[in-house]
Structures are given as structure tokens and as C-alpha cells.
Structure 1
């Protein structure tokens, strides 16, 4: 990579970082391109060089990168779970790992932006987002199917089971991060999830 390419990447990343902070703090609509340029110390034309479709392209890029970063951190491995307790513990570990992802400020900001500005996403971006989430459910279903403790279940149950587990996690994450603005994982939160997992398993 040449020196110019490196500098170009740095400029683009700076615009994204500034925009992410502003969108998360002020909202997409309240953040103007002029505000972004002033904070980033860039000329108007430079921003459109990197993002020809302007602010909306920046939003799509932030959402895209945020989802990729969060999903790449999620790992599930249930092939050693021979008891229901083993599986519950692995699922709780998975939740802990998900929660840890949001301790990174960029991941947290991207998540808040994705939720608050979801109606502004382009059709392509919205479709891609749904595909990623569906892929996550499919991966969890595949891992659940590999769990010895669930071997007696018919294959048709693993997809719905994975979807319910994701919904349980989502409810707690949304309530705590978005409604209560709480980023600390507490035992009370874990205690809220465990009985629900026990019921669905």
C-alpha cells in the first residue's frame, strides 16, 4: 500500500469515526455534513470523494461495519454439551460474549445508530442486515443440532429454537442498552435469562 493510499484510508476512517460519534450523540438528521467536515477538519469536496452519496452512504457504511464487527465476535460451540446444564452454561457464555462486544465504544455507537436510524437504511442495506441476522440464527441452529443433549429433537425444531434464544438475548440487550442506558452486565440480568433458557430447552 502506497503512502497516499494509507493517508486516504486514514481520512476516510476519520470521517467515519467522527460521523459515528455525532450520529450516536445527536442523531442522523441533526448532524449535517458541514458539522462532520468541521469536526473532521476536511473540505466538503473531500467527504464526497470518499462517500459520493454523502451522509446516507456514511450511515450505511457505519451500520455495515458495525454489524460485521459484532457478528464476527459471536462464536457458539455446543458439541460437548451432554446435559441441559452444560448447554445452558454455554448459552450464557455466548450471551456474556455478546455483551462484551458492546463494551467497545465503536460497536456500541454503531448498534445505537442501527436501531435509532433503521428506517433510514437503504433497501439494499436493510436486506443485507436481515440476511446477516438470519445467518446468525442459522449458525446457532446448526450448533444446537450438534449438541448431544438435543439429539432426540427433530431437525425442524432447531431453527425455531435458535430464533427464540436470539429473541431472549435481544430483549435483554435492547432493554438494558437502549431503554436503561446500562452497559454493565449484572447478575440480575443473567438471572433473568437463565429461567427463560431453561424453559425453551
Structure 2
């Protein structure tokens, strides 16, 4: 990595930490510069639009890294058991996003600074979950002969699975202000997924 990229990464990491701990409005570019051990001029050299450009970069990098994790998760399946295993594996993968300190901080910045962000920036989690529901629908469709539901029920069935994911994430990370999904909640959520799949299976 070039020196300029290393310096930009350093600024981003410092700003990400400060934004997540004390908020965007309470953080000044001067504080970021001091903590990153650079001059104010250097900060504006790397980020000409200052603090706002740094925030946009943090959010955009977070969106890109999380989307990559999720996009290619599903592989070919032939049985309901394989589908269930892939859904649970995907849930664990989503949870792992928040076990990474950068992932958690980026998520909290997105939640706390939502009024400052565009819809595309602030709705990344919804878009990921919508994408998961679409992919789940395709997998469920291939297994319809093994399921109790018909094609018209696919949206509701996949929506129920995504709602289980969503409740777990929002309850723990936002309502309870936890920094990661606990093993207890993971087991409970995975049991709910298994039960729903069992109820849908012939």
C-alpha cells in the first residue's frame, strides 16, 4: 500500500473511532488531525471536503465490505437440510460483521448519523436484507416440491426468515446497545430459523 493510502487509512481509523465514541458533530477536524499526528493541511490534502468527506468514506467502505461478504454466500442446494445450513451460516456471517471493531463502529456511525446520510448510505442494512430475501426466494423456489408452501407464499416465507435476522440484530445492537450478538442470542435465533424451516417442510 502506498504511503498516501496508509495516511488516508490512518485518518479514517482515527475519525471512525471518534465519530463512534463522541459523535460526528462533537468531533472537529483539528481533533482528528491531532490524534492522527498530522497537520490540518495534510488532512485537507487527503480529504479536501474535510470531515464530511471522511464520514462519507467511512460509510461507503463499510457498505462495500459488507456487501461483498453477503453477495456470494449461497451455493447450489438440493435438500432442505442444505438450505437450512446455508441460512444459519449466512446469519453467523452477518453476526461476524459486528464482531469486527471497524464493522461495529461503522454500523453505529450509520445509525447515529442517519440524518446526515443519503438514503443509499443509511439503508445499507435494509438493502442487504432485501438482497438476502431475493436470493432466498430463488433457493426456496428450487425446493418447492419439498415444501408445504406454494409459489405465492415464497415472499412471506423468506420475509419471515429475514425478519428473524433483523429482530436479532436490532434488539441486540440498537435496543440493548450491545457491541456484538451474544452466543446465547445466536443459538436462540438459529433455533427459530430451524423451527421455521421444519414447519415449512413436508
Q: TM tier, shorter chain?
A: 0.7 to 0.9
Quote the offset at 1:184 in angstroms.
4.9
Q: Does 1:82 align with 2:79?
A: yes
Which residue of structure 1 aligns with residue 33 of structure 2?
A: 37
Which residue of structure 2 aligns with residue 28 of structure 1?
A: 24
What is the root-mean-square deviation of aligned Cα atoms in Å? 2.9
Post-superposition Cα deviations, 1:110-158, rounded to whole Å, max 9, x if no partner, equal: 111111211210356457776555444433333333446459631x544
Which residue of structure 1 aligns with residue 9 of structure 2?
A: 13
* 1:191 alignment partner, one of 188, 194, 199: 188
Q: Does 1:63 align with 2:59?
A: yes
Which residue of structure 1 aligns with residue 171 of structure 2?
A: 175
Instruction: Please give the alpha-carbon distance, in whole angstroms, between the structure 1 residues aligned to 2:165 and 2:16.
Output: 25
CA distance 1:55–1:151, shift in 2 (3 Å): farther
Q: What SS does the aligned partner of 2:26 have?
A: coil
TM-score of the superposition, structure 2-length normalised? Answer: 0.79
Instruction: Please give the alpha-carbon distance, in whole angstroms, between the structure 1 residues aligned to 2:140 and 2:73.
Output: 9
Which residue of structure 2 aligns with residue 144 of structure 1?
A: 140
TM-score of the superposition, structure 1-length normalised? Answer: 0.79
Unaligned stretches of 5+ in structure 2? none
Post-superposition Cα deviations, 1:66-107, rounded to whole Å, max 9, x if no partner, equal: 121122112442642523x54333311211111122221111
Instruction: Please give the alpha-carbon distance, in whole angstroms, between the structure 2 residues aligned to 1:28 and 1:129.
Output: 20
Contact 1:15 1:36 in 2 (8 A): yes
Q: What SS does the aligned partner of 1:97 have?
A: helix
Q: What SS does the aligned partner of 1:30 have?
A: coil
Instruction: Please give the alpha-carbon distance, in whole angstroms, between the structure 2 residues aligned to 1:195 and 1:130.
Output: 21
Unaligned stretches of 5+ in structure 1? none
